[in-house]
Structure 1
Amino acid sequence: MGPIEVKRFFGGFGLVQAGVQFAFVMKGTLYLRVDDATRPEFERLGAVPFSYATSASTVKVASYYEAPVDALEDPHALREWATKALASALGARKPARRKPAS
């Protein structure tokens, strides 16, 4: 992984690399970007998706899951999970729109 930018993200902080947010910290919890390939790994370890309450219900954000607890205590493991999260975020990035030919 290269340099990571930290940006304000609602009431927390977003972690950005290559112009793409791949993780954020909200209320002291690190959430990592997941995709269909990595989500089962998070679920197998008991991680849950980010959620927030609205006046009507609780909204689950299935694209971000809590970082595995063990990874928070092991820098090498955390790097591996963050690398997977970055790959998920890069894979989800929408291609740049091309200008129509004149």
Structure 2
Amino acid sequence: MDDDAIRDLFAGLGPVTIRRMFGGKGIYHQGIVFALLVGGEILLKADAQTAPAFKAAGSRQWVPAGHRGRGPVVMPYWSIPDHAIDDPDEMTLWARRAFKAGLRSRKK
């Protein structure tokens, strides 16, 4: 997914900044990372408040293989719910949840 497509996907949230990271891209709004592009897939940030909603919507949590023999690592990022991909209003709701999770994690 190119940067213009990412900006279009999150247009309802507002302007986003995209930076290379983790062999993929970090997606920021107001300086807060709220999404990643990894392996061609967009993943949204979640936390204890929002992860249950992602799970209920059928999203998958990102669990990359560990390195140096440590095994898999559970990350606080989830796939976008299928029904949100083609619905800009739904996508905006999920993006806002991810952004709020990013804000909460920054305050810790």
Length-normalised TM-score, structure 2: 0.79
Aligned amino acid, residue 36 of structure 1: A
1:84 is matched with 97
Q: Find out whether 1:64 has 2:77 as its counterpart.
A: yes
Matches within 5 A, 1:1-102: 1-55=13-67, 56=69, 57-61=71-75, 63-94=76-107
C-alpha deviation, 1:11, in angstroms? 1.3
Q: Give 5+ residue unaligned stretches, structure 1.
A: 96-102
SS of structure 2 residue aligned to 1:70: helix
Residues in 1 aligned to 2:81 and 2:100: alpha-carbon distance in whole angstroms: 17
Residues in 2 aligned to 1:35 and 1:53: alpha-carbon distance in whole angstroms: 20
Q: CA RMSD in A?
A: 1.4
2:7 is matched with none
Residues in 1 aligned to 2:96 and 2:54: alpha-carbon distance in whole angstroms: 14
Greater share of helix: 2
Residues in 2 aligned to 1:46 and 1:58: alpha-carbon distance in whole angstroms: 21
Residues in 2 aligned to 1:90 and 1:17: alpha-carbon distance in whole angstroms: 10
Residues in 1 aligned to 2:66 and 2:97: alpha-carbon distance in whole angstroms: 30
Total equivalences in the alignment: 94
C-alpha deviation, 1:59, in angstroms? 1.5
**Identity within the alignment, %:** 32
C-alpha deviation, 1:68, in angstroms? 0.7
* CA deviation vs aligned residue, 1:49-92 (integer Å, no higher than 9, x gap): 1121135322121x111111111121111111001110110111
Greater share of strand: 1
C-alpha deviation, 1:32, in angstroms? 0.6
Residues in 2 aligned to 1:46 and 1:15: alpha-carbon distance in whole angstroms: 22
